[in-house]
């Protein structure tokens, strides 16, 4: 009846019509937000699956050497593996990147006397604090040495981000991955899974930073 539809404001606008439009607009906003969130989660899930596929499952046997070797610190086994590669002639010099500020080559030689001679002649260090810093210092080192190829030694889960950062800084240098897999990773799968998720988030952030700020670190 006309009485039921006469609930209007002073300007003659029907309140039920306005409320209905607002309700429909709110539903559209909610559904759009849900759709965007679902798409974002799907992309993240697919990206994580890609990341897991890119992480090397174990250590590899190198088929060739390179001009130099770089070990990105974070575990003792990375330095040991890199030193072994150097002693077997896989590279001419080794850069240990991101070495703890309290650690010296003399201390490494004391703990690993079998590497003492190689440490004295053919090893350089830097004290960078993160993976971007590793890449910047490695670029400087490779430029000084005029190296065109590098073997990259780091943990397998760290390898995709390390290669991405290094390739961004040195697109003209050939990079050869030498992933390190620790016994803890093999023995504690849940710890490894958590580590992989965290590393994937860091990789996504690094990729976004490279896209939004491609020149970051180039003049450092």
Residue 100: its pLDDT value, please?
87
Could you read off the pLDDT tens digit of each residue along the chain, which spans 220 residues?
444 444 455 555 455 666 677 777 777 787 777 777 776 666 666 767 777 777 777 777 888 899 999 999 976 689 999 999 999 999 999 999 999 888 889 998 998 899 999 999 999 999 999 999 999 999 999 999 999 999 999 999 999 999 999 999 999 999 999 999 877 776 677 777 888 889 999 999 999 999 998 876 654 5
Residues 6+ apart with CB under 8 A from 155: 74, 75, 78, 179, 180, 181, 182
Q: What is the pTM of this model?
A: 0.78
89-124, pLDDT tens digit by residue?
Answer: 999 999 999 998 888 899 989 988 999 999 999 999
Angle at 96 between CA 219 and CA 79, to 5 degrees: 150
pLDDT digits (tens, 9 = 90+) for 35-58: 777 766 666 667 677 777 777 777
Per CATH, the number for 68-212 is 3.40.50
Give CA–CA dist 94/147, Å, rounded: 11
User: Where are the chain's structural domains?
Assistant: 68-212
Distances (CA, A) of 49 to 60, 128, 164, 189: 22, 30, 17, 17
Distance CA 2, CA 126 (A): 84
Q: Which residue has the tokens 């030498």?
A: 178
Give the burial class of 171: count Cβ atoms within 10 A of its Cβ; 0-12 exposed, 13-18 middle, 19 or more buried: exposed
């Amino acid at each position: 009846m006309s009485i039921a539809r006469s609930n209007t404001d002073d300007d003659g606008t029907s309140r039920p019509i306005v409320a209905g439009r607002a309700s429909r607009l709110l539903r559209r906003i909610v559904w759009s937000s849900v759709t965007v969130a679902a798409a974002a989660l799907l992309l993240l899930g697919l990206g994580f699956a890609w990341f897991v596929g890119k992480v090397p499952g174990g250590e590899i046997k190198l088929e060739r050497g390179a001009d130099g070797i770089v070990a990105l610190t974070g575990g003792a086994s990375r330095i040991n593996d890199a030193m072994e590669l150097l002693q077997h002639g896989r590279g001419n010099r080794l850069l240990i990147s991101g070495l703890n500020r309290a650690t010296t080559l003399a201390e490494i030689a004391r703990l690993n006397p079998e590497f003492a001679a190689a440490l004295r002649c053919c090893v350089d260090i830097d004290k960078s604090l993160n993976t971007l810093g590793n890449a910047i210092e490695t670029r400087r080192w490779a430029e000084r040495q005029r190296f065109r190829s590098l073997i990259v030694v780091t943990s397998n889960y760290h390898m995709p981000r390390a290669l991405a950062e290094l390739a961004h800084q040195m697109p003209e240098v050939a990079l050869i991955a030498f992933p390190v897999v620790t016994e803890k990773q093999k023995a504690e799968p849940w710890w490894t899974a958590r580590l992989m998720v965290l590393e994937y988030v860091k990789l996504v952030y690094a990729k976004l930073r490279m896209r939004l700020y491609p020149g970051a670190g180039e003049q450092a």
